[in-house]
Amino acid sequence: MKKVLKWIVNIFICMMILIIVSSIVSSKKSDISSIFGYTPMKVLTGSMEPSIKVGDIVVVRKRPVSDIKIGDVITYKAEEDIYITHRVVQILVEGDDLKFKTKGDANNIEDKDSIYEDQLIGKLAFRIPKGGYIVDFIKKPIGFITFFVIPIVILIGTEIKSSVKQY
pLDDT confidence of residue 19: 65
Q: Is 113 a catalytic residue?
A: no
Instruction: Write down the catalytic residue from 22, 26, 47, 56.
Output: 47
Question: CA–CA distance from 58 to each of 4, 96, 115, 142, 154 (Å)?
Answer: 29, 30, 19, 25, 31
Residue at 64: amino acid letter: P
Residue 52: phi and psi, rounded to 5, are -130, 125
Q: Is 2 helix (H, G, I), strand (E, B) or coil?
A: helix
Instruction: Write down the catalytic residue from 33, 86, 96, 105.
Output: 86
pLDDT confidence of residue 20: 64
pLDDT confidence of residue 95: 83
Check if the beta carbon of residue 86 is closer than 8 Å to that of residue 100. no
Kindly report the pTM of this predicted structure.
0.69
pLDDT confidence of residue 140: 86
Q: Is 47 a catalytic residue?
A: yes
Q: What does the pLDDT profile of the chain (167 residues) look like in tens digits?
A: 777 777 777 777 766 666 666 655 555 444 566 667 888 888 999 999 999 999 999 999 988 888 899 999 999 998 878 899 999 999 998 888 889 999 999 999 999 999 998 899 999 999 989 988 888 888 888 887 887 788 888 878 777 877 777 66
DSSP structure string for 86-154: EEEEEEEEETTEEEEEEE-TT-SS--SSPBPGGGEEEEEEEEETTHHHHHHHHHSHHHHIIIIIHHHHH
Instruction: Write down the catalytic residue from 23, 26, 56, 111.
Output: 111
